[in-house]
Chain A
């Protein structure tokens, strides 16, 4: 035992020495060469690369400047893993620099290749923005590697960041043999960290250096309807604290109130208004009779502001500071925080108080309440203070600010009174200075986001079908339909409808497709008429076989695998359909599928069949609650969706009398 400990210590020391050494120009550094001989555990055939070494050392200087050195090595196990032979580092022009970036490849036969400045690509990180000073340096060896190769890199960056908080993910999905973060602080500074998706990881403290380390992390495979990687992989959030007497440019956050104060400092000075804005706000609300109608009118204006992203000074908090509302009003374009800020300013001109809300868009389960940090968010919306007269599903009760109507003016398909589904239930920060705090966003009930469909059809004795479909979608279900309608030019939308109908009704001829969008009422309507010459299959003119589920539902959950590792994430859905089919004369129903009813804590489904006065009446309904279901219940979830699929495939058989 003592011997093995000595060996372990000396290996670690050697590695530390190797890491400190400057690599020779073309020769891989010693630490990288050492990784080549590392023995690997046995992995499944879906594992294409293993990270041998993932290390970062952040040295924080007394003035807050941060120097980061990163060492990373990966072994490519198969040709599918070639994409891992890539070094990349993001930086912001103006606040950070990639001082050095070098990479090496060690082939199985020991031959080495080195990559330096000449092989480095420098590119814009956000290509769609009109301007964004975030950039990416990349060295790619993907065309040079083969299975058995070890690829590694060293990167040195220097940054003058605004936050004294860092996130460290111990893996991205592939297996990792060793992952380590070291933070070295000036005298009298201290650090602590929160651990996510793993038992608490205690740091090793040596002088003023803190090291967090994990070894032998197993691969994490993606699965359908599973939580995002951020909810699966082990990571830490590190906070560093300078001595109280020390003033630095680094900003730390001990509570959500701190984050609120910071966000208010950035937002409030930008939310002034001028006479033109005030006049426009009055004009927009001239016919509004209630507080809610006023907010609706201003919300609509903010939604119509063109979404254009211009990100300057991102590394110094520019990503959190909106452009002045006066500028955004004049240009009529801006990004999420600009739209929220403009709306705030216009409401202010009408005497309505509101607050910016920062939120994570895209995953309502992402934000960790125990880590107060603006770095958890990627989006800005608004909370409008409302009186008791305003009643909407998106009103929350804040302990100090009172009733707040939550609204996202960037999503121009979701009206005031509703909230995008990927934000519902999420933790978000209401930035109201001292009064601000992290709060949970409202969740609208599945029934408020339902689709209702009625189909009236006539089936011919030759199998032909003529049908009229009337769809009415509400809430977030309407948003899906509206988005499709608004993003596609009219001819493309027509083609989309034709493809949808012909999926289940062969050779269908779409005679009419009339969409009607009532955005402010949160409703979308679609009326379709079509004929299909061979909808029902004829069997020697004696039988007619057809599916009463004439058109498909718009979304489905497919869980085909028998085994599963991760919890199941279900999004809210509510759907109801009645299909009334006039049966052809001379035929009678010979076989009807069985009615079915499924009830689970996460959802309910029912399907019924009824024959009455020469009509077949088919009804189906589904309600899914937004849920994260433990993996132990996977069999029940899979069975629920398989049974729905089976029920909707079941045919009706008519026989000639």
Chain B
């Protein structure tokens, strides 16, 4: 975890012979508290099968050979399930890292101690490929049973310099006490810093032998839930890093960084005659600045091959042979580039078209939500291009091949981007694309037969973020694979028979993702002696409720606002008419969106017309509001499952 360490040979030699306090920690067990041995139930979470009594990590960055991590974990096992999950330990490590001084033991409920024998520790080479090696030290705790305490410790030695190390406070089991001891590198050019997310730790206090200690109690287990925010946004963790002191207000810091980064990369947007010519050609007859930029945008994502894209069609061997681009002119000439190369070419071409373009650094909200108060570029790994329109900056990312003009990847929408500039840099929040830009538009023209079978033609169109997801999922597949995937998805939901499947624009950056098929679903409608019950919401048939569980541990997080528009016509069987039919109606979610489902019958009383319009645009819902959210989605689910009755020989009655 070292950064820019100056070379001081004399001091290093002295350190070499000093015994390490942390090293001594790997040689001793702490005394067992009889209360822990007698413990019958977990303290942190009542249903836990096992609970860590303590979890200690010594991080020694003053070691002369790299960074040492000394881990010590003591776990109380309460149940058979706890016995099964905790008894086998695998400590994985790569080249450049070594695992030393492993010790483990089981303390049975009667206090008997069974030590792990050295020959019961196995060093396994899990994978070896060229110089890369993933190894694992594995062992099983002996004589473990419910009521036992198990403990194990090991030393992990990084033989190379590291910075930005992530340290967790939560595990898959609850922990009564987490302790981190840090010993910074005294020779580091910058001071060691820590920042904690999703929780507060007491400040580090000076401990023995150059260590600083922090601890936290009663950490619950970390568990995943569907539709939850990213793990790094939910789990409590700490980032340890070396960095110069920032004695500036965040706004000032970001401004200075914006200037510094601009100077660093401005040559990467350099315009030459080739770029001017290509720009003129790309723009063609476009009139407005926005139209011109869109042409350039489309040029960059269709004429330049993105070699970072898994669907580039390039083999590993071909990729290895490609030369690096050193300028946008190289990218243009060679017709290929990394994602960053493509974005810089776009900026250069926008500049050649007379527009003011800057590159912007940006975070990724699928990993962590950006907080400007953390004055560090660590969470801003992405590159976008900002182009000025009047007094506004608009953001573009032609390296994301399928993201339409005017949108960013959802991971980069709605978060601050750092616009680099020599004069006016700063953080500007990227816009979130409206629900109307990410739509599922579905159309079905169907015929219901007397035996309850439904057959007809279906067309589905995805736009915006939905289209990006579908294209990313399909672009690397063959047409047969795409068809199989789609067939399996539809048959998994509806059963029945599918034919004439067509998938359009699976890897076309410019068009929506569209598929169509013919379908026949025997027994779609339920038949009784004199009635047929029909669920008109064909696209929601057999779709499970989105939130079936009653309790929620985490906030609910949707990636982007979206809309669903369904247009369904169902020709009714001869001799049957609607019987007491009513539409499921509307549900208003306030600012979050709405649901409308309407039904009508054509004048000849032969065709049912069903339209459904669903919109949802709130991205984050606090877990306290989960019951209300569940109620909304349950109501939508109920409305989607609404059925109408057809009766043989009945006079048609409908109500909307």
Contacts and interface: CB of A to CB of B under 8 A. Distances in A.
Interface of A: 45, 78-80, 113, 118, 120-124, 127, 130-131, 143-144, 304, 306-308, 310, 330-333, 412, 486-487, 489-491, 494-495, 498-499, 502-503, 506-507, 509-510, 533-534, 537, 539-540, 542-543, 545, 560, 591, 593, 645-646, 649-651, 653
B495 interface: yes
B593 to A, nearest CB: 19
A113 B320 CA distance: 14
Contact of B549 (A144, A495, A503): A495
A144 B315 contact: yes
B480 interface: yes
Contact of A502 (B128, B545, B551): B545
Contacts of A491: 47, 223, 551
A486 B622 CA distance: 32
A127 B126 contact: yes
A437 B88 CA distance: 36
B145 A304 contact: yes
Nearest to A306: B87
Per CB-CB distance, the 6 closest pairs between chain A and chain B, nearest first, are A507-B634, A131-B122, A502-B548, A490-B47, A79-B478, A540-B580
A130 B637 contact: no
B533 A651 contact: yes
B142 A332 contact: yes
B138 interface: yes
B580 A539 contact: yes
Residue in A130, A308, A487 with the greatest tally of chain B CB atoms within 10 Å: A130
Contacts of A503: 544
A506 B129 CA distance: 51
Given A499-B544, A537-B642, 11 more contacts: A113-B317, A124-B127, A130-B88, A130-B122, A143-B315, A304-B145, A306-B84, A310-B122, A498-B549, A502-B545, A506-B641
29 contacts: A78-B478, A80-B478, A80-B480, A118-B130, A122-B129, A130-B88, A131-B122, A304-B145, A306-B83, A308-B140, A310-B140, A331-B114, A331-B140, A331-B143, A332-B145, A487-B81, A489-B81, A491-B47, A495-B548, A498-B549, A537-B643, A539-B579, A539-B582, A539-B645, A542-B580, A543-B580, A560-B491, A591-B528, A645-B523
Contact of B80 (A486, A542, A653): A486
B144 interface: yes
A131 B80 contact: no
Contacts of B30: none
A105 to B, nearest CB: 10
Nearest to B645: A539
B580 to A, nearest CB: 4
Contact of B124 (A131, A143, A545, A645): A131
Give chain B's interface residue range (CB within 8 Å of chain A).
35 or more
Contacts of B528: 591, 593, 650-651, 653
B637 A507 contact: yes
B125 A122 contact: yes
Nearest to B142: A331
B224 to A, nearest CB: 11
B270 to A, nearest CB: 34
B87 A122 contact: no
Nearest to B644: A539
B263 interface: no
Contacts of A121: 127-129
B16 to A, nearest CB: 35
Contact of B126 (A78, A124, A331, A646): A124
Contacts of A510: 550
B138 A131 contact: yes
Interface string B582-609: 1000000000000000000000000000
A593 B527 CA distance: 9
Contacts of A143: 315-316
Contacts of A120: 129
Contacts of B491: 560
Nearest to A127: B126
Given A79-B481, A537-B643, A122 B127 contact: yes
Contacts of B635: 507
A506 B545 contact: yes
Contacts, number: 150
A506 B523 contact: no
A546 to B, nearest CB: 10
A506 B637 contact: yes
A492 to B, nearest CB: 8
Contact of B88 (A308, A486, A489, A649): A308
B87 A308 contact: yes
Contact of B47 (A332, A333, A489): A489
A225 to B, nearest CB: 16
Contacts of A45: 480
Contacts of A502: 544-545, 548
B81 A486 contact: yes
Given A143-B315, A539-B582, A591 B530 contact: yes
B142 A333 contact: yes
Interface string B513-525: 0000000000100
Contacts of B642: 537
B645 A498 contact: no
Nearest to A547: B526
A310 B80 CA distance: 21
Contacts of B581: 539-540
B655 interface: yes
B49 interface: yes
A210 B383 CA distance: 65
B522 to A, nearest CB: 9
Interface string B103-139: 0000000000010000010101111111000000011
A651 B528 CA distance: 7
Nearest to B641: A506
B529 interface: yes
B469 interface: no
Contacts of B47: 489-491
B477 interface: yes
B150 to A, nearest CB: 11
Residue in B49, B642, B645 with the greatest tally of chain A CB atoms within 10 Å: B645
A305 B161 CA distance: 44
Contacts of B548: 495, 498-499, 502
Interface in B480-502: 480-481, 491, 495
Nearest to A332: B143
A124 B129 CA distance: 12
B531 interface: yes
Contact of B138 (A130, A307, A331): A130
Nearest to B544: A503
B140 A507 contact: no
Contact of A509 (B127, B128, B550): B550
Given A45-B480, A332-B145, A540-B655, A506 B634 contact: yes
Contacts of B545: 502, 506-507
A545 B644 CA distance: 10
B638 interface: yes
A78 B87 CA distance: 45
Interface in B411-464: none
Nearest to A333: B140
Nearest to B527: A650
Contacts of A124: 124-127
Interface string B525-555: 0111111010000000000110011110000
A180 to B, nearest CB: 31
A650 B315 CA distance: 54
Contacts of A113: 317
B85 to A, nearest CB: 9
Contact of A545 (B88, B140, B316, B643): B643
B138 A332 contact: no
Nearest to A303: B80
Contact of B140 (A130, A537, A543, A653): A130
A48 B60 CA distance: 54
Nearest to B643: A537
Contacts of B529: 591
